[in-house]
């Protein structure tokens, strides 16, 4: 369905995407990365808004840029808020359907149906300016899939949604992906996991990992976790951990800070518990790299071949 070969996109001297090669088949795929990682640029290349500086992008076997036959098969929901304020969701989605080539009556019918699916029927005749960000997000989503594309591309689709709406739309999108293709970009791992999608992780314009959610988690688990301790006796705690053979990396900062990199967090936890029972005071334990940035950082380490 989608093939990128050594794709690089430069904006002058700024790199948007750096030497990305990936092939994705039909199904649901998640593009995961922090803000500024290059996700939107990559989606821009896939949806035919941008041309690669180097490399080739092929969607359904053809280049998407300036290719109406391919663009007709893609639905795109961008991350940017919709500031078309005067039109109503119904007018807006109808307009998009007419741009997709439908006759006015058919366009209106599709718009109504799509707005109904995203739960926006009641608000469909209110100006967009009077709607919440979440409602505008739904209107954008309706505009993206109302023409029944073969590939639905969503950029941060659940931003600004309340938990109930998020749940509903995750279900809607997951249902969509049963017999069609879906590509969702997000900086939230759980959002992409909820879609039961395969994952590709992008950072600094580079694709640093790809595979199923389980494979990505496996990769993450294969790298040492960095755990920060604040303790009165960092040296003694470090000695105990080293004797137990659970330490991959170790740093002592100041008088009370100890950072241990380990692949055996469970065993380290037991050692720390034992140390506490023996009178060592541990004031704080933080698994710093369980944050998203930490996970991305560790995937970058893996991508660069840094094992420990």
Partner 1 sequence: MTDDHSATAGSRHGPPLPGHWLRTAAAVMSFQLDRLLTKPRLAMALIGAIFPAAVMFAVIRTAPLERNMAVVMIYALIPEALCVLGLLVTMCPVVADELERGTWIHVAVRPGGRRSLLLGTFAAAVIWTGSVAFAGLLLTLLIAQVTQPLPLAVMFLGLIMLSCIGRAALFTLPAVILPKRALIASVGVAFVVEYLAGFLPAVVNQLTVSLRLRSLLVEWMAWRRELPIEMTLFVDDNPAVVQVVAVFILVGVLLAVASFILNRRQFPPSVEG
277 is an interface residue for partner 1 by CB under 8 A: no
Q: Which is nearer to partner 1, 140 or 166 (CB)?
A: 140
Contacts of 120 (CB under 8 A, 6+ apart): 89, 135, 138, 139, 142
Q: Which is nearer to partner 1, 177 or 246 (CB)?
A: 177
The three-state secondary structure class of 212 is: coil
Residue 92 burial (CB count, 10 A): 23
Contact residue for partner 1 among 143, 205, 224, 297 (CB under 8 A):
143
Residue 55 burial (CB count, 10 A): 16
106 is an interface residue for partner 1 by CB under 8 A: no
DSSP letter at 52? -
Q: Interacting stretch for partner 1, rule CB under 8 A, among 78-86, 199-207, 229-237, 292-300? A: 78-86
Q: Which is nearer to partner 1, 74 or 227 (CB)?
A: 74
Q: Which is nearer to partner 1, 39 or 206 (CB)?
A: 39
Specify which residues 65 forms β-bridges with.
none
What is the nearest approach in angstroms of partner 1 to the Cβ of residue 291? Answer: 25
Q: Which is nearer to partner 1, 76 or 229 (CB)?
A: 76
Contact residue for partner 1 among 21, 54, 56, 81 (CB under 8 A):
81
Number of H helices, E strands in the chain: 11, 13
| Gap between the Cα atoms of 81 and 96, Å rounded | 16
26 is an interface residue for partner 1 by CB under 8 A: yes
| Gap between the Cα atoms of 201 and 7, Å rounded | 15
- Is the distance from CB of 31 to CB of 186 less than 8 angstroms? yes
The three-state secondary structure class of 214 is: helix
Binding site for partner 1 (CB under 8 A): 1, 3, 11, 16, 23-27, 40-41, 44, 47-51, 60-62, 66, 68-74, 76, 78, 80-84, 86-87, 91, 95-96, 98-101, 103-104, 107, 140, 143, 147-150, 198
């Amino acid at each position: 369905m989608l093939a990128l070969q050594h794709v690089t996109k430069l904006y002058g001297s700024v790199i948007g995407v750096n030497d990305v090669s990936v092939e994705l088949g039909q199904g649901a795929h998640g593009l995961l990365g922090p803000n500024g990682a290059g996700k939107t640029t990559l989606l821009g290349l896939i949806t035919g808004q941008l041309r690669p500086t180097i490399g080739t992008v092929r969607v359904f076997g053809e280049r998407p840029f300036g290719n109406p036959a391919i663009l007709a098969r893609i639905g795109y929901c961008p991350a940017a808020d919709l500031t078309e304020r005067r039109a109503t969701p119904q007018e807006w989605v109808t307009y998009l359907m007419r741009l997709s080539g439908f006759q006015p009556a058919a366009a209106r019918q599709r718009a109504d149906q799509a707005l109904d699916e995203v739960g926006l029927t009641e608000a469909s005749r209110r100006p967009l300016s009077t709607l919440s960000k979440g409602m505008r997000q739904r209107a954008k989503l309706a505009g993206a899939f109302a023409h029944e594309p073969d590939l639905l591309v969503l950029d941060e689709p659940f931003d600004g949604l309340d938990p109930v709406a998020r749940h509903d739309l995750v279900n809607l999108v997951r249902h969509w992906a049963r017999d069609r293709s879906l590509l969702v970009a997000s900086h939230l791992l759980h959002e992409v996991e909820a879609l039961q999608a395969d994952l590709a992780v992008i950072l600094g314009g580079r694709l640093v990992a790809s595979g199923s959610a389980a494979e990505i988690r496996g990769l993450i688990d294969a790298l040492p976790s960095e755990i920060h301790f604040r303790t009165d006796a960092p040296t003694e705690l470090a000695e105990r951990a080293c004797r137990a053979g659970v330490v991959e990396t170790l740093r002592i900062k100041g008088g009370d800070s100890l950072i241990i990199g380990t692949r055996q967090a469970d065993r380290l936890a037991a050692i720390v518990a034992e140390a506490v029972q023996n009178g060592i005071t541990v004031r704080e334990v933080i698994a710093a790299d369980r944050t998203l940035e930490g996970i991305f950082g560790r995937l970058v380490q893996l991508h660069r071949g840094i094992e420990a």
